[in-house]
């Protein structure tokens, strides 16, 4: 059957239309991910906690804010040039004003400060970070000095060019004490620093209400950074102030702050590759052995069929657990076993089809004119089995994807690859279901279901091709 005719038959049915549209979206997304994501995204980014340090932890998707109408936006404030600069002889003081609005009824989840690419000639720069509130009060968040020259080191001295300096300011004990002092001086409200330390951001972004309890203080906040530089050539290339939100991204974050949307996007082509590759290889093996078994018969038939019976009765899961214990959780091991244990069923079915086709007039005529066995199998038997084999291939793809997801959920997958099953396993181990982190479970679960459903719809659309009596005129 010609390719255009095949597509026309698939498109003729509603499941076929939906399946083709969904398949196009999945393939296009996978191609885009492969072209834009680094190939080592899994081990170098997804499994690297430093990459996600400035992400909010375990927060729902940003679109949920439209339902609640109230959420803290995640803000990353960066600066490369100072707001103002004051010369003091050869020294210089650079001031950076990083302004942001706070309008939510909740406080930010955290505040962090980072800088990078520091260069100095003699004395190391010193810096301070102060949070200036809408009510005119200010809270010192950080005061530190860049690490000085080491013995034997020659100027200019470079610091934090590869690894930025990062401070989670809301985790610093001094911030809790400074916030307590600010509330006492500005409002006469006495709250011990130990109590504030339990929820620093609520106090930093709060003020006493009519009841005397802290309520959100809305308005414009400024994170003011002051850099003291000892020489004109001293510089800091960039600095960053992060206001942790209560929502983030399209699919939220996990307990490590990892963007689930990025992980699932990278996992999509992996899932498709696993499904299509394993299904294609197992289908090719099953079809080839089934045709050989049915056509040749005799000892070859007996050997192939008994081998298929043995493999069908081998307990895959215990064997796979043992091998993963020996070799480690690796993707190639899972793929190999999915292929080895997926072909017997197709081989048995194809054998039965070949036995029925071997005695028809077309095959007998080919034998009579001296056609080779290879010619008969390829030209006269394979075309009759191809529609069923192709539909089996499509059915195999979601089966393999679901099998990989199930194995990953059991902890047998490669932990460095963010597949849907791996995310579900991490969510289960972290207690996402019990803690109410629904987005951590629903997002990868939906992706697995949608991917599997796409191929199931295509398989349903193939029924008129396998059974011509179902075709519509």
Range with lowest mean pLDDT among 223-227, 285-289, 304-308, 385-389: 385-389
Nearest to 71 by CA among 256, 252, 261, 257: 252
Q: How many residues does the chain have?
A: 473
Reported as a single tens digit per residue, the pLDDT across 99-113 is 999 999 999 999 999
Q: Say how far apart CA 347 and CA 312 lie, in whole Å.
A: 11
Query: In which band, very low, low, confident or very high, does the pLDDT at 131 lie, cut at 50, 70 and 90?
Result: very high
What burial letters (b/e) apply to 448-468, b meaning 16+ CB within 10 Å? beebbebbbbbbbbbbbbeee
> Highest-confidence range of 61-70, 248-257, 418-427, by mean pLDDT?
248-257
Cβ contact 375:366 at 8 Å = yes
Tokens of 126: 């010193």
* Mean of all residue pLDDT scores within the chain: 88
User: What is the phi-psi region of residue 257: left when phi exceeds 0, alpha when psi lies from -120 to 50, beta otherwise?
Assistant: left
* Residue percentage of the chain with pLDDT more than 90: 47
Q: What CATH number belongs to 3-48+259-470?
A: 1.10.3720.10
List the chain domain ranges.
3-48+259-470, 72-243
Range with lowest mean pLDDT among 17-26, 29-38, 261-270, 362-371: 362-371
Q: Say how far apart CA 272 and CA 330 lie, in whole Å.
A: 17
Cα end-to-end span (Å), the chain: 17
DSSP-derived letter for residue 217 is -
- Please report the pLDDT score of residue 471 as a whole number: 56
CATH architecture of 72-243: Sandwich (2.60)
- Please report the pLDDT score of residue 468 as a whole number: 58
Query: In which band, very low, low, confident or very high, does the pLDDT at 297 lie, cut at 50, 70 and 90?
Result: confident
- Residue 128: cis peptide before it, omega within 30 degrees of 0: no
- Please report the pLDDT score of residue 413 as a whole number: 77
Which uninterrupted H or E stretch holds 404? helix 382-409
Indicate the burial class of 110 (C-beta count within 10 angstroms; 0-12, 13-18, 19 or more).
buried
- Please report the pLDDT score of residue 209 as a whole number: 86
Cβ contact 466:415 at 8 Å = no
Distances (CA, A) of 85 to 91, 226, 228: 11, 10, 10
Backbone φ, ψ for residue 136 (5° rounding) = 90, -15
User: What is the phi-psi region of residue 234: left when phi exceeds 0, alpha when psi lies from -120 to 50, beta otherwise?
Assistant: beta
- Please report the pLDDT score of residue 171 as a whole number: 92
Residue 473 has pLDDT above 70, yes or no: no
- pTM value? 0.84
Residue 3 has pLDDT above 70, yes or no: no
Reported as a single tens digit per residue, the pLDDT across 10-60 is 777 888 889 999 999 999 999 999 999 998 898 889 989 999 999 999 999
């Amino acid at each position: 059957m010609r390719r255009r005719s095949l597509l026309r038959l698939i498109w003729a049915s509603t499941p076929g239309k939906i399946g083709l549209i969904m398949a196009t979206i999945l393939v296009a997304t996978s191609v885009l991910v492969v072209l834009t994501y680094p190939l080592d995204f899994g081990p170098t980014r997804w499994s690297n906690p430093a990459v996600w340090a400035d992400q909010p932890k375990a927060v729902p998707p940003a679109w949920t804010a439209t339902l609640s109408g109230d959420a803290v936006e995640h803000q990353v404030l960066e600066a490369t040039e100072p707001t103002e600069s004051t010369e003091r002889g050869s020294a210089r003081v650079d001031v950076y004003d990083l302004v942001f609005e706070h309008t939510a009824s909740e406080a930010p989840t955290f505040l962090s400060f980072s800088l990078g690419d520091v260069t100095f000639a003699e004395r190391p720069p010193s810096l301070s970070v102060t949070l200036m509130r809408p009510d005119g009060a200010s809270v010192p968040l950080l005061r530190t000095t860049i690490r000085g020259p080491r013995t034997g080191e020659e100027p200019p001295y470079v610091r934090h060019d590869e690894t930025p300096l990062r401070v989670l300011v809301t985790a610093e004990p001094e911030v809790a004490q400074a916030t307590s002092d600010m509330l006492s001086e500005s409002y006469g409200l006495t709250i011990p620093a130990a109590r504030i330390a339990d929820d620093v951001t609520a106090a930093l972004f709060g003020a006493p209400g009519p009841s005397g309890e802290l309520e959100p203080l809305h308005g414009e906040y400024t994170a003011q950074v002051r850099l003291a530089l000892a020489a004109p050539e001293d510089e800091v290339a960039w600095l960053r102030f992060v206001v942790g939100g209560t929502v983030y991204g399209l699919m939220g974050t996990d307990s490590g702050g990892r963007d689930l949307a990025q992980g699932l996007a990278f996992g999509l082509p992996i899932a498709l590759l696993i499904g299509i590759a394993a299904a294609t290889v197992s289908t090719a093996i099953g079809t080839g052995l089934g045709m050989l078994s049915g056509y040749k018969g005799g000892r070859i038939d007996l050997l192939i069929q008994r081998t298929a019976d043995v493999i069908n009765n081998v307990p895959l899961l215990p064997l796979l657990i043992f091998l993963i214990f020996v070799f480690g959780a690796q993707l190639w091991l899972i793929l190999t076993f999915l292929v080895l244990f997926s072909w017997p069923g197709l081989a048995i079915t194809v054998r039965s089809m070949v036995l029925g086709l071997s005695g028809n007039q077309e095959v007998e005529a080919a034998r009579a004119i001296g056609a080779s066995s290879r010619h008969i199998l390829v030209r006269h038997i394979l075309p009759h089995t191809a529609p069923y084999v192709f539909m089996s291939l499509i059915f195999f793809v979601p089966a393999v994807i679901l099998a990989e997801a199930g194995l990953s959920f059991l902890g047998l997958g490669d932990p460095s690859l963010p597949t849907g099953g791996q995310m579900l396993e991490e969510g289960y181990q972290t207690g996402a279901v019990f803690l109410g982190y629904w987005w951590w479970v629903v997002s990868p679960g939906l992706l697995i279901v949608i991917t599997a459903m796409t191929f199931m719809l295509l398989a349903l659309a193939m029924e008129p091709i396998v059974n011509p009596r179902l075709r519509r005129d």
